[in-house]
Amino acid sequence: MSRRLFSTLSRLQHENPLGLPRSGAPPQIPRMQRGLPQKRNIKDVRKVIAVSSAKGGVGKSTIAVNLALSFARRGLRSGILDTDIFGPSIPTLLNLSGEPRLSSNNQLIPLSNYGIKSMSMGYLVDEKAAVVWRGLMVMKALQQLLHEVEWGGLDILVLDLPPGTGDTQLTITQQVNLDGAVIVSTPQDIALKDAVKGITMFNKVNVPLLGMVQNMSIFTCPHCNKSTHIFGSEGVTRECANHNIEFLGDIPLHPRICDDADRGIPTVVAEPGSERAETFMAIADKIRVKLGL
Ligand SMILES: Nc1ncnc2c1ncn2[C@@H]1O[C@H](COP(=O)(O)OP(=O)(O)OP(=O)(O)O)[C@@H](O)[C@H]1O
C-alpha cells in the first residue's frame, strides 16, 4: 500500500475507528475541503469509462472485466480499476493477489494478468478491515485509487463501480473526467428500477451514457436445449428505448461464465471462440467505436 495511504488509513482506523470522541482527545478526522473537488483526468489514460449497475449482483464486475479484456484483444492498452472498497471482485476475477509495488514517485504500480493492468482495494487491505471504515476513510482511499496509480500509458481504463448511486459513485463522477458509462442490468423489474436510478445519476452529472448491457437474459438447458427467459426478456431494450440509450448486447445466463469467473479466468480468456466471448467482444467494439478508439 502507498505509504501515504497506509499512514492516513492506519491513523483513521486505529486511532479512532468509529470516529467517536475519546475523553480528552478530539476525534482524529481530517478537515473536509469546502466545495466540490475539481474534476481531473486520470494521468496517462486516454479514455475512462465506468461500468455501473445500481443493483448489486447483476454481473457488473463480470462484464467490466470481460470488456477490459476484449479491448486488450483488439490491441488496446487496457486496464481495470476496481472502485468497490467493501467488496472488491477484480482480484478474484483476474486471479491476482499481493501488494502492489511503489514507483519512485510513490505511486501504486498496477498488477497485470491476461494482458491488462489492474488496481483494486483488494490488493491493499484485508476485506474484513475495510468493513468498519467510515465515510472519510472510504473517500480518502478512493481518491488515492483514482489519482495515485501509475498506469504507465493506457488507451482505455474501465472503472468497475460498486452497486448503488451513493457517495462513492457521486465522488467518482465528480472527481474524474469520465468519457462515458455503461449500465448493466438483468431484465428483471427490480433490477431495472435501480438501473434507471443509475441513468438519472449519470445524466445529472453530465456523463454520456454509452449504452446498456442486458445480463442473464436467457438460459438454455444443456440437457433438453430448451431456452428460458428466467428474469424476463425485454426489460433492458424497453428502458433503452424509454431513455434513448443504445442497447449494447445480451449476455446469456451460462454456468461457464460463472465457473470461469470463480476460477479467475474470465470468459474472453477461458473460451475465446465461444459465442459468449464473441458477444463480449461485439459489445466492446461498439464502445470502442463510440469512443473513437
Ligand atoms: N451471464 C452470467 N451467467 C452466469 N453467471 C453469471 C453471469 N454474470 C454474472 N454471473 C455470476 O453472478 C455473480 C455476480 O456477478 P458479479 O460479481 O459480476 O456481479 P456484480 O453486479 O458486480 O456484483 P456486486 O454487486 O457484488 O458488485 C457471480 O457469481 C458471477 O460469476
ipTM comes to 0.98
Q: Mind listing the pLDDT tens digit for each residue in 76-117?
A: 999 999 999 888 999 999 999 999 999 999 999 999 999 999
- What is the pLDDT, as a whole number, of residue 284? 98
Q: How large is the average pLDDT for residues 12-33?
A: 42
* pLDDT band of 17, cuts 50, 70, 90: very low
Q: CATH code for 45-95+155-291?
A: 3.40.50.300
CB 77 within 8 Å of CB 155: yes
In the predicted structure, residue 136 carries a pLDDT above the cut 60: yes
Ligand 1 in reach of 89 Cβ (< 6 A): yes
Query: Whose CA is closest to 153, among 42, 245, 244, 65?
Result: 42
Ligand 1 in reach of 163 Cβ (< 6 A): yes
- What is the pLDDT, as a whole number, of residue 26? 41
d(CA 180, CA 5): 28
- What is the pLDDT, as a whole number, of residue 234? 85
Q: How large is the average pLDDT for residues 40-53?
A: 96
- What is the pLDDT, as a whole number, of residue 213? 97
d(CA 192, CA 141): 30
Ligand 1 in reach of 254 Cβ (< 6 A): yes
Q: Provide the mean pLDDT of the chain.
A: 88
- Three-class DSSP category at 207: coil
Is the pLDDT higher at 13 or at 89? Answer: 89
CA distance from start to end of the chain:
32
200 CA to middle of ligand 1, Å?
23
Comparing 19-28, 133-142, 205-214, 277-286, the range with the smallest average pLDDT is 19-28
* pLDDT band of 126, cuts 50, 70, 90: confident
- What is the pLDDT, as a whole number, of residue 23? 41
- What is the pLDDT, as a whole number, of residue 135? 81
d(CA 251, CA 219): 10
Q: How big is the CA angle at 118 (ends 169 and 186), to the nearest 5 degrees? A: 50
* pLDDT band of 19, cuts 50, 70, 90: very low
- What is the pLDDT, as a whole number, of residue 34? 53
How long, in residues, is the chain? Answer: 293
Ligand 1 in reach of 117 Cβ (< 6 A): no
Ligand 1 in reach of 56 Cβ (< 6 A): yes
pLDDT more than 90, % of the chain: 70
Is the pLDDT higher at 130 or at 225? Answer: 225
- What is the pLDDT, as a whole number, of residue 15? 41
User: Which atom of ligand 1 is nearest to 256's Cα?
Assistant: 4
In the predicted structure, residue 25 carries a pLDDT above the cut 90: no
User: Which atom of ligand 1 is nearest to 255's Cα?
Assistant: 4
- What is the pLDDT, as a whole number, of residue 66? 98
Whole-prediction pTM value?
0.88
Q: How large is the average pLDDT for residues 62-72?
A: 98
Q: What are phi and psi of 113, to 5 degrees?
A: -155, 150
Q: How large is the average pLDDT for residues 164-176?
A: 89
Atom 31 in ligand 1: residue holding the nearest Cα: 258
Can you say how many angstroms the Cα of residue 178 is from the centroid of all Cα atoms in its chain?
13
Ligand 1 in reach of 215 Cβ (< 6 A): yes
